[in-house]
Amino acid sequence: MNSIIDSKTRIVSLDIIRGFALLGILFINIPAFQLVVEGSSAPTNYGGIDETIRILIDVIITKKFFSIFSFLFGVGFYIFASNVEKRGDNPKRRFARRLGSLFIISLVHMFIFFGSILSAYACIGLLLIPFYHASLSTIAKWLGGIASAYLFCIVIQLVNIKNEMVTSIATSMTTDSTLIFLMFLAGFGVSKAGWIRRIWEFKKQIMRIQLAMLPLVIGGAVWIWLASSANSDQLSLIIKLSSIPTVVLYLSTMFLLLENKTVATLFTPVASVGRMALTNYVAQSIIAKVIFSFANIEF
């Protein structure tokens, strides 16, 4: 590994990871763009190479990249709010105002693309505000509690407990909204702890995390592959269950790799995608809609 990169380059590394997350989200949204333009959904029965590609998407991309994007939103909240506070302004009020602007943009974006995540981000982001002055210990306890509840409720659904009330509670706890807030809080906590600016210092600990996550990710990938091949009704739950360890492995690996100046420089073009995340997210919806409309592309 080359010399440790400086703080400025580390922020660029956030943009690079955010750029990859946006590209992953675009890839996942392609069938939804087809539905918007053509009024028909993508086929559900695949065969041959198409089936293999669909399974690989479930294993590698589904739920993972929007989770990474959510994590980076939490990181961005702390960076933004702490900078505002340093200037003597009210960080909570300024962030709430920014979320209000995001919600207004989301209303316009929903006319273009029904699958927009902007309104969810704006609303769920409000839940981060009370944590701004919370201690790292408090944040860790909340994070552990929410993550445990989320995973436990997925397991409850997987074992198919015959209790309507329990199933209903478990289902409500395992929506994407819970995962988004979980990633928001994780990103906020990591940023508040200052770990992102000290990646190299925690290299050994991060590598231990990678080793711990690797068997979980491999096991989850095999499980997803088997469930997807069998068209299991539990596929979406299995994908959710594997998403957290996979995201942890992805993030830890990318942060370590981007400590290398050569690697960071190689992916600098991707940083331009992540640097203007909101603009590019909205733009990809408009561009995709135009392409589908004029080219009559089918997937």
- The reply to whether 1 falls in a domain is no
Copy the structure tokens of residue 237: 């739950």
Q: Is residue 2 part of a domain?
A: no
Structure confidence at residue 35 (pLDDT)? 56
Give the pLDDT confidence score for residue 7 in this predicted structure. 42
Decide: pTM greater than 0.75: yes
**Torsional sign, CA 223, 225, 229, 235:** positive
Domain that holds residue 188: 7-295
Query: What per-residue confidence (pLDDT) applies to 49?
Result: 83
**Mean pLDDT in runs of 10 for the chain (299 residues)?**
42 90 85 56 63 88 94 94 92 95 92 85 96 96 96 93 87 94 97 90 93 96 93 93 96 93 91 86 81 59
Question: Is 145 a domain residue?
Answer: yes
Chain-centroid distance of CA 98 in Å reads 20
CB atoms near residue 57 (< 10 Å): 14
Within a 13 Å sphere around the CA of 171, how many CA atoms are in the beta-carbon half?
9
- Rounded Cα distance between 52 and 109, Å, is 33
Domain count within the chain: 1
